Amino acid sequence: MIVLGIESSCDETAAAVVDNGRNVLSSVVYSQIELHQPYGGVVPEIASRSHVEKISGIISSAMIQAFGNGSEESIDTSWWNKLDAVAVTYGPGLASSLIVGLSEAKGLALRIGAPLIGINHVEAHIHSVFLSSGAPEPAEIFPYLALVVSGGHSCLIEVTALNTCSIIGQTLDDAAGEAFDKAAKMMGLGYPGGPVIDKLARSVDCRSTIDFPKGRPRAGNPILGGLDADLCVSFSGLKTSLMYYLKKNPPADNAEVAAIIASYQEAIVDALAQRCSIALLRGNYKALAVGGGVSLNSRLRERLTAVSQAAGVPVLLAEPRFCGDNAAMIAGLACMGAGVTGAEAMELDVVPSLAAGS
């Protein structure tokens, strides 16, 4: 089954062609980071306008890379017949960004006579681990635990079968990526914060010299909504704690900036690793799968590898090019039979707060 995937949930416009759920024939991502950099975060109006400008060109590039012989500059219309379906993210994400991808996908599916498949973006991040050639088949590792950590999401998900998953833990406030981005903004390190903090933290000898709060929500907190506090995180206190620390101890030089931010990163990584460890020891999981932009973090990758080893299960980390938002994960998951299909798909509207497993 060959599927064209389209992704526009936040600030990346992406299209990809995937064969049989695992074989990526093309994956094209246009990142809007430079457009949002002056504002220190994603501006929804700028994001949706840029998606409108870029989306058809990105889809053409993905088709040319997948089916061309390297010399074509435009699509051969016969290539559309090679597609068995068009898959698109319909949530969660920014409404004004999602709508651009969904409308484009509906129009394209109608025009070329291919079925449309609506995909959940967070569930697709989990599928990104299966896009590596050495990864097992999803069916070989059910039930498994998945951690999705990005600029908009931080959740622990139990995956028991194809199309069957449920959230067992999540952040009660800021997503892990947001915690990185907000700290970088506070310290004037630029946007996005994750990559620069990761690099700075690698430059210090001691990982944690400042004792920042470890992001543990209190049991009984009504925001938990029935979830176990031991599997949830809260990063808003950490961010506030950094703000007070900086007021009291303004860093005198780059070495002090690096030391502070390394301790801050360690608090985020520690919180996530600890929740994964608890979940792995409690459940009977066959693997830990990790996706989302924050899963690029070198310290998090190190800690999650150690946590999985201790629990006796393999850790599946997405390839760097599939950690952040991309459309290969959308097309790939659709190939596996997931998502909203049939007449219902053509009726889909965007669902900005769509949860995994819903």
Interaction site with Zn ion (CB under 5 A): 150, 325
Query: Measured from the CB atom, is 138 or 292 closer to ligand KG4?
Result: 292
Query: Measured from the CB atom, is 190 or 337 closer to ligand KG4?
Result: 190
Q: How far is the CB of 351 from ligand KG4 (least distance, A)?
A: 15
Polymer length of the chain? 358
- Number of Cβ within a 10 Å radius of residue 136: 14
Binding site for ligand KG4 (CB under 6 A): 10, 150-152, 177, 180-181, 192-195, 198, 292-294, 296-297, 324-325
CA distance 14 to 160: 29
Q: Which does 215 bind (CB under 5 to 8 A by kind): Zn ion, ligand KG4, none?
A: none
CA distance 191 to 193: 5
Q: Which does 138 bind (CB under 5 to 8 A by kind): Zn ion, ligand KG4, none?
A: none
Q: Are 101 and 344 in contact (CB under 8 A)?
A: no
Q: Which does 180 bind (CB under 5 to 8 A by kind): ligand KG4, Zn ion, none?
A: ligand KG4
Q: How far is the CB of 187 from Zn ion (least distance, A)?
A: 24
Strands (E), the chain: 2-7, 12-19, 23-31, 85-91, 116-120, 144-149, 154-161, 164-170, 288-291, 315-317
Q: Which of 177, 105, 170 is nearest to 325 (CA)?
A: 177
* Residue found under tokens 């990758």: 301
Q: Which does 118 bind (CB under 5 to 8 A by kind): Zn ion, ligand KG4, none?
A: none
Q: Which does 193 bind (CB under 5 to 8 A by kind): ligand KG4, Zn ion, none?
A: ligand KG4
Pairing of strands 23-31, 12-19: antiparallel
Query: Measured from the CB atom, is 194 or 217 closer to ligand KG4?
Result: 194
Query: Measured from the CB atom, is 128 or 274 closer to ligand KG4?
Result: 128
